[in-house]
Amino acid sequence: MLTPKQQGFFLPAEWEQHKATWLAWPYDTTSFPDRVEKVEQVYASIIYHLHKTELIELLVLDKAMQSRALSLLKQYHIDLNRIIFHIVDYADVWTRDYGPIFLINKEQKLAWTKWRYNAYGEKFLDLLKDDKVVYQLRDYINLPNFQIDMVLEGGAIDTNGQGILLTTEQCLLNPNRNNLTKPEIEKNLQQYLGIKEIIWLKQGLINDHTDGHIDQITRFVSHDTIAIAYEDDQNDPNFAVLNENYRILQNYPFNLIKLPLPKMQYADSSRAPVSYTNFYLANELVLVPQFKDFRDKQALDIIQSLFPERKAIGIDCTDLIYGGGAVHCITREQPM
């Protein structure tokens, strides 16, 4: 069988027009201890903004959860005709990582790829069943699909839509993901995502259970411009890693835009892996994580300047981050 690349498919940039955003309604008290209801409010706010410009494909466990979600969405005056519910057996909300990765070709036809999901190197065994979520949605999606026996989370990669891919060695070369060589991984990315060149950064943020997802440190904002999380304080534990990533990117012909690094502690005083690069690009808007940090407005203003045709909207992620991610981690775009 021909690979996606051989059939002309490639991974589009996130800023291309969307048909829908895929989300999974939150319920897991392990991910969100003592704060599921607060996270539900965050979801309702996100859906409120997104549903104005694209459809919402929303996973729920059962009819009872669907009714609960509907009740809350009604309070936000959301047009429920733009919400499509799917009763699916899932463990957690990270559709970015276990959801279908959609591809497109020059004729604007869609396909999708199914990669293995092993709950971040089998750190969370109760999440392993999310590897099977897409099989429950295959008939509904009803598009050509390609499966590959390689672990890859969607948050580990980012593209400019012109064949350039960003990722980290800490994640993709981690032995808890794959027993593959770097050339073998590169070949799979090239053949199954239509990639031409891969830019390897080294590591991600400290205390990031994803082992260095790229969407927490570096994102394409246009074909030739990259936003990168940066820390000026040399005493900060993230300084060395982020500075090294910045130096690597200086070797490539891209405009580099520094985003400040917010700081937040969990209730146990440990450092949370928070970053403004975890924004989500939707039709006509960009959702920007906020962490009740004095840098929030600066980051929001920078991102707004990078997307003048979109409205930058801040989303409070101080509860959502207890699960280890923010806005980008819970969303999965489906191109038009």
Question: Would you tell me the crossing angle of helices 36-50 and 63-75 to the nearest 10 degrees?
Answer: 60
Q: State yes or no: is 329 an active-site residue.
A: yes
Active-site residue (options: 329, 330, 331, 333): 329
Among all residues, which ones are annotated catalytic?
329
